[in-house]
Amino acid sequence: MSETTRLNSLLTVDSLSKRFGSLHAVNDMTLSIETGKITGLIGPNGAGKTTLFNLISGVLNADSGKIAFNGKDITHKKPYQIAQLGIGRSWQLIRIFSKMTALENLLIAANRKKGNALKYAMELLDLFGLTEEKGNYAGELSVGQQKMLSIARILMLDAELMLLDELAAGVNPPEQDKMMAVIHQLCDEEGKTFFIIEHDMDVIMGHCDRVVCMNFGEKIAEGSSGEVQNNEKVIEAYFGG
């Protein structure tokens, strides 16, 4: 890793490892996420992608290695502390509060003063096209709307880095397009940084500035989407024996 990429990187992961018994879920992982960019994380099932997210967001504790955010060591911080520092995450299984309204789901994550929070929440609902749903229970929304609500919720934290797990799964194409358009807008206009796990290669190849590919807990390739797409190890991981 050269000095210049270090300067631009919001998150750096250094030789991170996590074992479950004899399984190396994440093994000696080193990567950096650049500010204001969309980075994709791909790999076959069981490659360790969600484990890596769980380590970064503090849900799991690393066995060894280091995670730094904005130059600050966050390796052994608790999930709520990491969230307060500015790393928001969404979950594969969405995990919004289904018995609260859409608006309440946002307000509860607010990191700012009351009146201000309400204004920002309304802006976010508008941005994601959810204004009409603000008074409905979140559990009553469509899967796509719930996913967008979960992204809006971590934006309420004023998070700089969003870890989004399985963003597009179960979301219909028009909603996917809407979601990706908003993500690009947030990157370009507000300098937000995204790190996304995704199985839909069209989403990854069409929208990510950089792509990291994992297999068996290790990073096997990293680069622009074109580079990763043509990488032999990646092709082997997906199609080979």
Partner 1 sequence: MLIIGILIVTGFLVLPHFSSAYLVTLFLIMFVYIGYATAWNLMSGLTGYVNFGFALFVGIGSYTSVLLIEDLKLWWPAAWFLGGVSSAMVAVILGSFMLRLRGSYFAIGMLALLLGIKLLFTSKYLSPITRGGYGFPFIEPLSMNMMYYALCFLAMGNIFISYKVITSTFGARLIAIREDEEGAGSIGINATKNKIIAFALSGFLAGLIASGHIAFQNYIEPESAFSGQWTIVPIVMVLLGGPGSVWGPVIGAVILTFVEEFLWSHFTQAYMMIYGMIMILLVMMMPGGIIEWLKSRGTLPKIRSI
Interface positions with partner 1 (CB under 8 A): 57, 59, 78-80, 83-84, 88-89, 91, 95-101, 104, 107-111, 114, 137, 153-154, 156-157
Closer to partner 1 at the Cβ: 17 or 101?
101
User: Which structure tokens are listed for 89?
Assistant: 């995450």
b vs e for 33-61, b when ≥16 Cβ sit within 10 Å of the residue's Cβ?
A: bbbbbbbbbbbeeebbbbbbbbbbbbebe
Which SS3 state, helix, strand or coil, does residue 27 take? strand
Of the two residues 140 and 232, which places its CB atom closer to partner 1 in the complex?
140
Smaller CB separation from partner 1, 29 or 83: 83
- Least Cβ distance, residue 154 to partner 1 (angstroms): 7
Q: What order of strands is seen across the sheet that includes strand 64-69?
A: 23-34, 9-20, 64-69, 72-73
Count of other CB atoms within 10 angstroms of residue 192: 22
Helix (H) or strand (E) holding 230: none
In the complex, the smallest distance separating the C-beta of residue 163 from partner 1, rounded to whole angstroms, is 9
Q: How far is the CB of 83 from partner 1 (least distance, A)?
A: 4
Q: Judged by CB, which is closer to partner 1: 89, or 219?
A: 89
**Is the CB of 196 or the CB of 234 nearer to partner 1?**
196
Distance CA 32, CA 169 (A): 25
To partner 1, the closest distance from the beta carbon of 95 in angstroms equals 4
Q: How far is the CB of 189 from partner 1 (least distance, A)?
A: 23
